[in-house]
Amino acid sequence: MKFLVPVLAVLVAVVAAKPVDQNVAVTQDTAGNYKLVVNLNGQSRAEQGNADGTVSGSYSYVDANGVLQTVQYTAGPDGFRATGNHLPMAPVDHAVPVSETEEVRSARALHLSLLNKGEPEKLCCVV
């Protein structure tokens, strides 16, 4: 009887355990190129690296809301760049350049004329 309880507990644990859905594939050549594919419990990653050091790939996961999120990325001379519909975007700057007023234009012209004449000492007194 003492032997039966642990055996039954192990059997229940084995039957109740969820099967792990996994797949891993890696290929690499002697030049430094490689491909990696990983699928594990609803998450996935695919990546390709080249001999020149550039890398591109993607990964997917299910977020806290149950939505599948996918990120695609590249890495190389321009740095790491990632894109995905759920990633924040930098705001677009719609600023309009400020144009000079007539007062600023005339003050600038006077300033430059005094510099060109070799009279920088007069700059302090110009109003």
Q: Is 56 left (phi over 0), alpha (psi -120 to 50) or beta?
A: beta
Mean pLDDT, residues 11-19 taken together: 54
Q: How far is residue 85's CA from residue 88's CA, in Å, rounded to a whole number?
A: 8
- pLDDT, position 89: 83
Q: How far is residue 107's CA from residue 97's CA, in Å, rounded to a whole number?
A: 20
- pLDDT, position 44: 95
And the tokens for 21?
A: 């859905």
And the tokens for 5?
A: 């309880």
Query: Taking the CB of residue 29, how many other CB atoms lie within 10 A of it?
Result: 9
**Cβ contact 114:122 at 8 Å:** yes
Phi/psi of residue 103, nearest 5 degrees: -60, -45
Question: What is this structure's pTM?
Answer: 0.55
Mean pLDDT, residues 41-66 taken together: 94
